[in-house]
């Protein structure tokens, strides 16, 4: 993403998600309430089909909305590379769904302070925008 700062990507993602939630609320739907017919979708909590890791936070709403909009029958998700790695592919014309990737890290100054204080270092959350 040449020329686009992580802050702009993050702001863009947040604005997009906020606009979707507001649009659904204006239509009288609550995006956090199961909007689909259970018999048409094995709609459990979204998770990565390759790693088994469950999605959390705002990604749950993003992926639930994608299931409804795309008419998908599952909440198993893969990146393009993960699909290729297991011998799969992506249907022609299919588009990806943007999720917010966040991870935890320990800042170097916190590591130093913790070592000086004789305690375990605290981690911090870091959001990296698009996946």
Least reliable range by pLDDT among 16-25, 37-46, 85-94, 115-124: 37-46
Average pLDDT over residues 59-79: 85
Average pLDDT over residues 10-23: 80
Residue-level pLDDT at 1: 42
Q: Output phi, psi for 32, to 5 deg.
A: -95, 5
Residue 126 has pLDDT above 70, yes or no: no
Average pLDDT over residues 75-86: 90
Residue-level pLDDT at 18: 84
More confidently predicted of 31 and 87:
87
Residue 51 has pLDDT above 70, yes or no: yes
Q: Average pLDDT over the chain, rounded to whole?
A: 78
Residue 113 has pLDDT above 60, yes or no: yes
- pLDDT band at residue 121 using 50, 70 and 90 as cut-offs: confident
Residue 36 has pLDDT above 70, yes or no: no
What is the pTM assigned to this prediction?
A: 0.57
* Tokens read off for 79: 């990146």
More confidently predicted of 131 and 71:
71
Alpha-carbon span 48 to 60, nearest angstrom:
12
């Amino acid at each position: 993403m040449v020329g686009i700062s992580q802050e702009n990507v993050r702001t863009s993602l947040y604005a997009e998600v906020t606009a979707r939630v507001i649009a659904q609320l204006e239509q009288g739907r609550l995006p956090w309430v199961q909007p689909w017919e259970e018999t048409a979708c094995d709609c459990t909590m979204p998770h990565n089909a390759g790693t088994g890791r469950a999605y959390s936070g705002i990604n749950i709403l993003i992926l639930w909305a994608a299931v409804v909009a795309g008419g998908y029958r599952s909440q198993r998700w893969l990146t393009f590379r993960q699909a290729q790695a297991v011998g799969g592919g992506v249907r022609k014309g299919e588009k990806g769904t943007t999720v917010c990737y966040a991870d935890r890290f320990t800042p170097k100054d916190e590591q130093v302070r913790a070592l000086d204080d004789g305690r375990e270092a605290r981690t911090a959350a870091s959001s990296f925008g698009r996946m």
